[in-house]
Structure formats: structure tokens, C-alpha cells
Structure 1
Amino acid sequence: MPALLRDAAERFGDHAAYREGDRTVSYAELLRLVERTSAAYGIASGDRVVIWGPNSIDWAVAALAVSYAGGVLVPVNSRYVGAEVADVVERTSAARVVVHDGFLGRDQVQELRDAGVDAGVVTTLADLMATEAAGAAPADVTPDDVADILFTSGTTGRSKGAMSAHRQTVGVARAWAELGGVRQDDRYLVVNPFFHSFGYKIGIVVGLLTGATLYPLATFDLDETMRLIEEERITVLPGAPTIFTSLLNAPGREERDLSSLRLAVTGAAVVPVVLIERMRDELRIDQVVTAFGMTEAVVVTMCREGDSAETVASTNGRAIPGMETRIADNGELLVRGDYVMLGYLDDPEATAEAIDADGWLHTGDVGTLDEHGNLAITDRLKDMYISGGFNVYPAEVEQTLARLDGVADVAVVGVPDDRMGEVGKAFVVGTATPDDVIAFAKERLANFKVPRYVEVVDGLPRNLSGKVLKNELRGG
């Protein structure tokens, strides 16, 4: 990553790397900011740094400075509450925690303090950026060193940190950029959050590889998105299907000139064929593709330019260079290749369970491959559902709700939602009211994990072994 940043500064120089409001940062200036910030960190090689905040130029600088200083980047969800971040800080033994304080009107620093995080390791993003320090030389890191740890929940409700090496983070971004044909003259609106691999690796790192100009968006605002596309002539817009559904149905869209869009990449949920057709016909996007990825492998499959609307909507494309796919006897999708994670942080058992002796990552998804190798996800072995592009693991939500007085038993499933794809529905046994359950969840979980619906029931359907029959709940 440090070598990539220096190469980008040399290749693209004064070309704009980022634009945010009235602020523009060139690739050469980006390197200077990163050099200064990496010195301000004062961290040793291998130290882990947690960054908690929404998309911004400063977030990108802070993240790249971690790599430049030889540290390991640990991004966390901007919508997390303090207790969720504190868990990651503790488990990574983070040397520093960088916080965008005040985001969405919250006091994140106080939340961390209340959650027991040592104040000595916490700094605000604003203070970090204001720290005067002489520019540091890049740390001596190798392609095989760990570059980042991205946390994802497991079906047990216990989050796991997927570790990637520098060569993997750079390599998967390069493969995606080449398949998408991203160029220096592209203007890339980054709606995907930087804390997610789709925003960080397929956003920030793709920018360094291609010289494209990135426009970070802190929160998805429909009017602001349309204004930026029209006024800045945005050409590249990856995102969850929700983004494009919202754009197509936006009041006043017909009065906007969104014709500059040439590349859209979507996925993370089932994509209706009609959505792909409308993206091409009504938004006039030249190249619309879908892809499949996961935190443990970032990008696995991707459609190619020229694929039919049917192929794009009904499949996630074919394996990208460096990756391979196969379907196990039980229908589970297995993936193997250059970009499968190194393993889970401090969890050899979970790593061995996920990656078999032959190097195949067991995804937990049930899928099919057609004669061309195009992947279609048909079901989930796990109960995970996707809400607005974010994975939600019911076991984690259930464990949280089980701590509420008045909840004797609870099960959470994903139910269809026109806007979000899926949202949570909690089935609760006990005396707690639906309002009690939602209020309790909002205090302890990120908003996308909070159940949208709560139904109080007399009991949960279970099989003879005691497992909750969630298919019955989904049908109810």
C-alpha cells in the first residue's frame, strides 16, 4: 500500500484524487498529507488502528497513513454504537482509535469512554488532521504483511476479523478496476462506506490504481447524489440495488441530467431484471454489472461488459482473474484463490472451519454455476440477511435482545422490503412490548441491525433437536 500511494503521487501528480464540498486534494497532496499523518500517529510497525467514522477525505488520509506507518487498518461501521466499537478495540489490542466525533449528532468519544475504552488511545479525526508533524518515510512493509482487518459477524453472533495482506488488498482492487475499465478521467461517487471493503478496497484503493477522482459521500442523500452526478458529471457509481431503486424513483429525476454515468456495479442482494433494464434505459448507464463478494474474499465473481440484462440481473457473473468457484455436493458455494483472506484474527478454529485443507473457502451460500461459470446465489446455508447492502446476522441480534427483561425467547429473520431489500423481524416470547424491544435494540445495535418489526408470540416453532424453524417464521 505505501508503494502504491507513492506510485500514484508520481503518476497522477496534480490530478484531483478527492473532491468533497469545496475541498480538492490532488494525488501529490494526498501523499504529503499521508506522510504527515503517519508521523502524527506515532505507531510501531504492526500496530492496529481502529477508524470509526463516515466517508470523508480525512478518513481516507487517516486510513492510508496507517498503512504508510506500517500499521494494520481496522475500520469499523460508522453507525456502530460505542459498545460495538469497544469490543473491536479490545480484541485487536488497538494502539490508536480515530473517531469522527459528532457524526449524526452523537458524542462518539463519550460513547467510547462509557464503554470503557482507554481515553489515552482515542483521538478525534479533526485533532489528528490538525497535528503538525514532519513527513515520515514509509515503513518497510512486504506484500505478505497484514494490511487490514475487516470485522464481520458469524452465525454464532461472535464477530470475526478477516485479515488481508497488502498484495490481496491491492490485487483485488486491480482486478475489479480492470474489469470495470476504470480510468484516470473517471469521476467516482463513493456511496459505499469506506469501512466496508466495497468502499475501501473498491473505492480508495481503486483510486490509487487508476487515478480516478473520488467523491466521498458521508451519508446517502438522494438529492445530493443527483446534484453531484449532474454538476460534477459523475461517471462511476457502484452501490447496493437500493441506491439505484431510489434514484429511479426519485421525485424530480426527469429534470436532472444524469447521463454522465457510464459504469454501475451492484450486488449484495437479489437484483430484479427490470432494475438492470431501467438502469440502462432510464438512467442511460452504458455498463451495468453485478458482482458477488464477501468480507473474507472481497470480490469473487463479476459480470463483464456486454453481458445481457438477464445475465447481469440473474447471476453475479464469473470468477474474476485469480479466483475460482465450485459448488459442493450439498449445494454450497466454495471459492478459492489469491484474494481469500489469510484467516480470522486469533481464531484458528473458525479459520479451519471456513477454509478447508485444499484452500476452499466455504461461503455458507447455496448457489449454482451455469455452463459459462456464471454464479447465481439461490439460498443461504446461514440465516444472514442483507438490509440496504449491509449483512445482518440474526444470532447477534438475538443475543442482544435476549438480555432485555421480559424476553423469554427470541428469533430474528429477514423479511422482504421494497426499499432495503430485507429488514429484520423479531419474534418475541415474553412480556416485553414491541416498543420495548426496538428501543432496547436501538441503544445497543447499529440502526441497520435493529428489527423493523416485532411480533409477540406464545412460542417459537422448533424441531426435535431444539433448533428454531426459521422457514416457518419467514412464511408467517
Structure 2
Amino acid sequence: MSENLYDILAARFPADRAQPCFIRLGEAAISYGDLEVAVAQTAGHLVRKGVGAGDRVALQAPKTWQAVAVYLATLKAGAVFLPLNTAYTPSEVEYFLADAEPALFLTDAEAFVAEAADAPPLETAVACSASDLAAIIYTSGTTGRSKGAMLTHGALTANALALHEAWGFSPDDVLLHALPIFHVHGLFVALHCAFLSGCPMVWLARFEDDAVLEGLAKSTVMMGVPTFYTRLLANPGFTRERASHMRLFVSGSAPLLESTFLEFEERTGQPILERYGMSEAVIITTNPLRGERIAGSVGYPLPGVELRIGGGAETGVIEIRGPSVFSGYWRMPEKTAEEFTADGFFVTGDVGRKDPDGRVWISGRAKDLIISGGYNVYPKEVELVLDELPGVVESAVIGAPHPDFGEGVVAVVIGEGREADLIAQARERLAAYKSPKRVFFVDELPRNAMGKVQKNLLRDRFADAFA
């Protein structure tokens, strides 16, 4: 039996293919039947273009339902999907194309699907094994040159089935989809849960307040990044009544502030479900669907995922092993070998701890660890204190070269106040070596496409803080 991910997803499409798949505000819906026909013809068109099993198909195109058809058609043809951020510059794209060497690079999914209308449809998916490559996802590159994480059909299937079960998806759901689809969150997490349920999606090209508020009226589940939730809370139109029929709000891709979690629950009566994932493993842990969701915690490992703290310490680098973990970095065998332990655990680079009951907490990235005067400082611990201080909207803590301590703690803050006051208030709550020695106020923090603060840029900008 083929283990092609497309076959596994399509087997769960609704029996009545006339059921809507993509609900577009102000436009006609696209049915599951429409999608299935487009996928078969687009897969046939790929084959006609000479794309074979294992070939890469790169797509850098706006978010449309046709872009999803290209993704599914690539799977069906046994090829490897390579999504590229629409914000990438030509020079950045040049790097990815040179590295992945795709057989086809597409920038207009709508036109490509339209071209495929006269292609002989590929009725049967190319047989694939669980170990065959399905996609290459390039890491965000916040700490260096992007690496291509190789995800197999088996890895994506295992993760999708585990999430579908963990989050209680059913055909009665309607998913509000406002995420980009060049990233695992919108492409794999959201789409796969919907397809496995055969449920519709309210399909939004991007997050826009009015469209999201309108879409919420038709939906039962929303997946978003923390910025989505802060924007909703800032909108007076987002009321408890507006959210009353929603059964689940999921947040990921960047840390959710405790203040956002608490304010959202107070406004709606519903706690956001925060989860933890990365390009190399899609989703790793999740707070429970039924059970306590705690602000600041990312919940428990998904079934099948083994999670441990490296070195046996109480707090340390998180290591994982399981069927959904990637098979390595594209054409980087040495880097792959560096990132896995001798017993097969992937070293995530995220620092955290695990409670005796298995609940996981993330402290930050290992590369963000500050060593000041010989003491380890975890930025997340300092940020949690700063974010509670009056006048602080959000903070990012970094280390900068210091003549006496090696590194000194620097806080970059969105908000208002006086540097000396914030340092004094932090000092009341933190040991001296953890407290910021400098505070800089900014209008915004640099972020990547999924909302993660790019601390490498902050370290460059404030490298002379103690000069």
C-alpha cells in the first residue's frame, strides 16, 4: 500500500465532494471536488513538464487555493515540495534554488493550475514509502544560513494524525486559516488537520482585522501566531459574544506572552492552547484540549514523541526523538550528524525544563544563553519579569560584550519609562547577575515571517552597549 501523504489526506476528504473546502469571503467557495480535480490535472501537468519522483518543485507565490493545489499535486506526483517565503529577495531565492536544485520553480500558482486544465490528469498517486522525502523546509535563518530540513511522507503523516486526534478535529469543524502557507504552521499543521477532517476552511489571504472578525462568525477553530491574538484584543469588535461559538484557539510559532494569555481568557472565557514546534519536527508538544492550559507552558509531548533534557540537568537543551522528526538537513551530512545524539535524539537548540508529570516549559534558544561573570542567564526568565513591569509592552533580552563580565545583560523594550527605573525594578526581582545593566527603548522588535524576534539582529545593533 502506498504511504504517499496525498493518499492519506484524500482518503479523509468528505464522501460528498461538493462540500466546501475553501470558503472565501465575498467569493464562491471552492469544493473538495474542485480541489481534487485541480490536483489531478496539476499533477499530470507536472509529469508533462518532466517532474519525476524525488524531484523538487519550488513555489514562491501568493496565498491562494491554487497554491495548495500545487502542494498536493507535488505530493501526488511523488515529487518534493519546497515552499519559499514570499518576502524573500531575489538574492535569497537564488541561494535556495542553488542549494535545492528544483526541477521547477513556480511564482504564479494560479497561472500554473490554469495551464494544467488540458493536461491528462494523474488519477493515481505515485507510490511512496514512509521514508520517501515529501518536503524541504528551510529554517528561518535567525542564527545563520538557512538549512533545508527534510521531512518525509511518514513524518508528516505521523504528526498530522497525532494533531488531528489531540485537538479533536471533526467534520463539523470550520478552520479559520489566516496563516501564510510557506511555513509549517499554515502549510502542514492547519491544512492537514482540516483535510483529515474533511472540514471547510475560511480562507483568508492574510490577517486583517475585519476579515478575521467576519470569518470568526463562520468558524469553530482558529490557529494563529501571538500577534494575531494581540491584534484581536486591541480591536473593540472582538467581544466574548464574537468568540462564543469557537471551540479552540491555538497559538504557536513564537512565545505567547502570559499577559496575552490572561487577557484573552478574561475577554473570551477561553484559554488559548499554546503548542511548541519547529521546522524539523512540525509539532512537538501541546497543551491539552481537555485539561489545564497554563500560561507560559507548551504542554506535553505528542504521542510518539520522546522528549528529554540534555545532560540530565533540571534546565537544559531539549532533545527529541520520534516518527515525526526530520530525517536530516538537505546536503549537509556533517551538520545533520552534529545535531543528533548517538542514540538518535535531535538536539533542538531550545532550552527548557520538564516537570515530573511531563509538562514542558521553554526558556529560550541555547544560542541566546548569556554567560555573565561565569553565571548562566536565560533571557526568557528576565523577559518574564520585565514584561510585568508598568509601561513595558514587550521585551527582548540579549547579551552584549562587557569589559568586566564577558557579557552583560541588555534589555530591548517596547514601551515607555526610564532606563534607571526599569533596571532598579528588575533588580528587586532578579539576582544582580541576571538583571539588565542597560535598557534600550524601541518602537518595534525585528521579527521573522512567523513573528519570532530576531535576536541576532538585536545583538548586532546593540553590540556596543557597554563600549
TM interval, short-chain normalised: 0.7 to 0.9
State the partner residue of 2:227: 242
Write the deviation string for residues 152-194 of structure 1: whole angstroms up to 9, x where unpaired: 0456611111111111112101111211111111110112221
Cα 1:35–1:78 shift into 2, 3 Å: same
Whether the 8 Å CA contact 1:98–1:125 is kept in 2: the answer is no
Residue number among 272, 290, 297 corresponding to 2:274 in the alignment = 290
Asked if the contact 1:327–1:334 (Cα under 8 Å) also holds between the matched residues in 2, the reply is yes
Spell out the pairing of 1:199-210 with structure 2 (5 A cutoff): 199-210=186-197
Aligned equivalent of 1:191, options 140, 153, 178 = 178
Distance change in 2, residues 1:257/1:163 (3 Å): same
Aligned to 1:370: 355
Q: Is 1:8 matched with 2:1? A: no
SS in structure 2 at match of 1:282 = helix
State whether structure 2 residue 133 is matched by structure 1 residue 133: no
* Contact 2:239-2:267 at 8 Å conserved across structures: no
Alignment of 1:101-180 (within 5 A): 125-131=110-116, 132-136=118-122, 137-154=124-141, 157-180=144-167
Percent sequence identity over matched residues?
30
Structure 2 counterpart of 1:78, one-letter code: T
Distance (Å, rounded) in 1 between the aligned partners of 2:330 and 2:267: 45
Name whichever of 74-83 and 153-162 sits farther off.
153-162
Q: How big is the shift at 1:151?
A: 0.4
CA contact (8 A) 2:240 2:269 kept: no
Partner residue, 1:96? 104
How many angstroms does 1:14 deviate by? 2.4
Contact 1:8–1:27 (Cα < 8 Å) also in 2: no
Please tell me the root mean square deviation across aligned C-alpha atoms, in Å.
Answer: 3.4
2:85 paired with 1:81: no
CA distance in 2, matches of 1:414, 1:163: 36
Within 5 A, what are the aligned runs for 1:52-63? 52-63=60-71
Q: Is the alpha carbon distance of 1:183 and 1:195 closer, same or farther for their aligned partners in structure 2, counting shifts above 3 Å?
A: same
Shift of residue 302 of structure 1? 0.6
User: Whole-Å Cα distance in 2 between the matches of residues 303 and 457 of structure 1?
Assistant: 35
- From the superposition, tell whether residues 328 and 447 of structure 1 become closer, same or farther in structure 2 (CA, over 3 Å): closer
- Give the superposition deviation at 1:26: 2.1
**SS state at 2:349 partner:** strand
CA distance in 1, matches of 2:164, 2:40: 26
Q: Which amino acid aligns with 1:145?
A: D
Describe the shift of the 1:44–1:308 C-alpha distance in structure 2 as closer, same or farther (beyond 3 A): same
What is the alpha-carbon distance in structure 2 between the residues aligned to residue 357 and residue 274 of structure 1? Answer: 40
Match of 1:301 in 2: 285
Alignment correspondent of 1:319: 301
Match runs of 1:383-422 below 5 Å: 383=368, 415-417=412-414
Structure 2 counterparts to residues 251-290 of structure 1, below 5 A = 251-254=236-239, 257-285=242-270, 288-290=272-274
1:202 deviates by 0.8
Task: Measure how far apart 1:75 and its partner are.
Answer: 0.6
For residues 26 and 449 of structure 1, the distance between their equivalents in structure 2, rounded to whole angstroms, comes to 34
Q: Aligned partners of 1:171, 1:203: CA distance in 2, in Å?
A: 15
**Is the Cα–Cα contact under 8 Å of residues 367 and 376 in structure 1 kept in the other structure?**
yes
CA distance in 1 between partners of 2:283 and 2:451 (Å)? 23
1:95 partner letter: A
Pairwise CA distance, 1:460: 4.0
- How far apart, in 1, do the equivalents of 2:453 and 2:170 lie? 39
> In the comparison of the two structures, how many residue pairs are matched?
390
Report the TM-score, using the length of structure 1 for normalisation. 0.74
- Look up the SS of the partner of 2:319 in the other structure: strand
* Offset from partner CA, 1:54-105 (integer Å, 9 cap, x none): 33211111110001111100011122122212211121110111214xxxxx
Q: CA deviation at 1:458?
A: 11
- Give, in angstroms, the shift of residue 324 of structure 1: 1.2
Flag the 1:375–1:78 CA change in 2: closer, same or farther, 3 A: same
